[in-house]
Structure 1
Amino acid sequence: FRTTKWDPKENLPYDYGRIYQFPNFRTMSKQIESEQEYNQHKQEHAQEPAHLLFVTGLLPNEQCLSVLNIVLNRTNDSEIIVKSKKRLIFHVGFRHFSSSPIYSQHSNSDKHKFERFFRPRQTLVATCFDPITYPSTSVLAFKQFPDDKDRQELVATDSLLSVNHDRIILKRLVLSGHPFKIHKRLSVTRYVFFFKFCTHSHMKCLFDGIFNSQDIVFMNLYKSVHPKYGHMKPLSIQQQENNEDIQ
């Protein structure tokens, strides 16, 4: 897992051809940050003080869709176990939307292990398709309950890590089998694969030591996983669908 070279462009979903891909996101982010130091904000009074009016501009490429990597740290009050690819409501800067992210470990490695669940008191990286936003924007993640559309619980907070479509997220699969025939370091293992077109499902394995009959064969396989396209919805559309369901 640590030493194997992995091509981030290999076996990408067709949906990755629809997103905007930065040639060098770090350079672009530093350029935007340096330009914002000279910008100024202006405060105006709305005609109706009872209503909150918030006007903002978009930075370059913020109208495009890409792959966002968000660092999420579970709150101390939340004890809900969030499953990967389940819908959450995100507040990223001034944007509010719902998305179904996948989770991976937050490490300095070039490959990151996929996590099926986001457990309490855990820090993970959520990857999803969302509009481009530049770091380090504050992020709030809420869990919406299906039985009560108006009930939301804050499950995680932190900030945006990067906009990187080349982040490698690997899912581990464990294959196991029992020895059928043994000859020193060579073993014919069965019960590893179960295919309809294969009657035996045997596999020859060569080990670095003497293999015994009481041993069991385990083998780790890794495959790259990606977020699903089309699971991002602006919060206004999501609320409209919820109101239609209630009606």
Structure 2
Amino acid sequence: MDNYPLVVADLDGTLLTDEKKVSKENLIAINKYREKGGMFTIATGRSQKTVLPLLRILNIDMPMILLNGGELFDPKKGVIYSNYVDETIFEQVIDLFIDSDFGIMTFYKDKIFIPDFKPAHELYLEKQRDVKLEQLEEIKKFNKVNKILLVGNVKKARDMLLSLEQKIKKDINFVQTDDVYMDVLPNNISKGEGLKNLCEFLKIPLKKVVAVGDQMNDLSMIKIAGYGVAMGNAKQEVKKWAKYTTKDNNNNGIAHLLYEIMEKYSPI
């Protein structure tokens, strides 16, 4: 029988409901999986600030993947590693979007900066409640960032970034993380790379890992995990690569997956 001692789950659209809650059913299933010897952690595009309140609910005391693979964070020991967007690319992206209708947000560890407040930022605050955005009018002066988040029309953002790549003759690492989010990340950073680093840190083979998510930024880890899983509400491209599709995030998809693993496989 195959065994999967580690489950790594995305947060938004996966472990969390559309109301940004962790269901009682999911919590019970996570605890049962742990009781059988399994480990459970998260891989998210969120930063420390927006994750910490959930850690107390989820009782996660092991390393997790933050900022779409840009940071490996241990709630007991702090940051294990952190990566930053190339400064030239950072400046070019800010220049491109600063006068647009996109909401620009830059992330540095547990801080989130904006150059000015635009209606698009409301879309973020509706999804991420109780988050403080710090305004920096000269945002380019703080150019050491873990990621840039562009809030707005993701198709338009993609087209603009592709045109910028051609102009500056450099690859830009960007990925859609929500219907209205486009992340610009450090070079060679993804949740897949984050999962490789997490497994190396924990000394667990990738083939022994379950990775589950719903969005395009989850695809890299779903592809390389031993058992890649899509949520019922996942993008079709994600479902295409997954070995299994569980229920959606509003119907305890994580609980359904964990019981499936405990019944058919073994955590240890």
Same fold, TM exceeding 0.5?
no
Normalising by structure 1, we get a TM-score of: 0.22
The normalised TM-score by structure 2 is 0.21
More strand by share: 1
| Max Rg structure | 1
